[in-house]
Amino acid sequence: MSNRLEAVVADIVEGIRGALMKHDVTFDEYRQGIGYIMKTVEAGELPLMIDAFLNTTICQIENRNFGGSTSTLEGPYFLDDAPFVEGALKTYEDDRHEPLLLRGRVLDLAGAPVADAIIDVWHSTPDGHYGGFHNNIPRDFYRGKLRTDAAGGYEVRTTVPVAYKIPDQGPVGALLEAMGRHSWRPAHVHYKVRAPGFHTLTTQAYFEGGEYVDSDCCEGVHSELIHADVRESGIKVIETDFELAPALAHA
């Protein structure tokens, strides 16, 4: 059997060596780089740094290896114990909250409806925070599980999310800034779609024309996940059909 670990690690090292050579990196810069990585570890931001640069690549590999709808980042704010909801996610009610209707169908690769699929939906508050993680927002706010009907359909009301800033006060924010980038993700809605016999789909929806759609700090935007500004009776609607690929035989 081939040694997959050896093969992957050797190629990672080879890739890094190539970049160092290409840019004539000096010993001084090399030491600074090690110092930076140490600071990132001490600040507890190593997972954030790796996710910001590489998670989207892992999603692209998924997309290459499975059919069905495009998958993208899960991010750090999925909670598997989110409750089932009927009609609407729990949200705060105030003037800033613009209503949003999410609906669509879950289908197999042949276009047949998948009934009883479970869709986790989660997204930020209208001020860019996540329930259960920030500002004491209850963990069942702005998230919930939906179950598709016999026609594979789902529908839920919620509020429009806004752009989200990944933690920017530590080494990762400093690096992005020094690179001339920023720490913002465009406004997005997260989905995780699960059904027996199918490969789980983790994806997001983005808003056409939204700030940072063209410069996501985590590079998780795919053009087919960007939604036009559709309104029904003045209410914003994101209609998304999810196509599920079959699960791997051994999965």
By CB under 5 A, name the binding residues for Fe ion: 75
Q: How far apart are CA 163 and CA 161, in angstroms?
A: 7
Nearest to ligand DHB of 51, 120 (CB atom): 51
> CA 145 → CA 7, 78, 132, 191, 224, distances in Å?
40, 11, 15, 10, 24
CB of 176 to ligand DHB, least distance (A): 11
Return the amino acid letter for 50. Answer: I
- 66 interacts with ligand DHB by CB under 6 A: no
Q: How far apart are CA 170 and CA 174, in angstroms?
A: 6
Residue 119 near residue 146, CB atoms below 8 Å = yes
> CA 19 → CA 7, 165, 171, 186, distances in Å?
19, 29, 21, 29
Among 142, 154, 164, 184, binds ligand DHB (CB under 6 A): 164
Two structure tokens written together for 124: 């930020």
- Give the one entry of Fe ion, ligand DHB, none that residue 45 binds, where binding means its C-beta sits below a cut-off of 5 to 8 angstroms depending on kind: none
- 73 interacts with ligand DHB by CB under 6 A: yes
DSSP 37-70: HHHHHHTT-HHHHHIIIIIHHHHHHHHHHS-SSP
Return the amino acid letter for 90. Answer: K
Residues in contact with ligand DHB, counted by CB under 6 A, come to a total of 11
Which part of the chain contacts ligand DHB (CB under 6 A), choosing from 34-42, 69-77, 83-91, 110-118?
A: 69-77
CB of 116 to ligand DHB, least distance (A): 27
Nearest to ligand DHB of 73, 107 (CB atom): 73
Coil vs helix vs strand at 190 = strand
CB of 129 to ligand DHB, least distance (A): 10
Scanning the structure block, which residue is given the tokens 């001020």?
127
Nearest to ligand DHB of 3, 57 (CB atom): 57
- Give the one entry of Fe ion, ligand DHB, none that residue 142 binds, where binding means its C-beta sits below a cut-off of 5 to 8 angstroms depending on kind: none
Q: Which residue is nearest to ligand DHB (CB)?
A: 75
Residues in the chain, overall count: 251
- 212 interacts with ligand DHB by CB under 6 A: no
- 49 interacts with ligand DHB by CB under 6 A: no
Nearest to Fe ion of 75, 210 (CB atom): 75
Which residues are near ligand DHB by CB under 6 A?
Answer: 48, 51-52, 73, 75-77, 164, 166, 185, 218
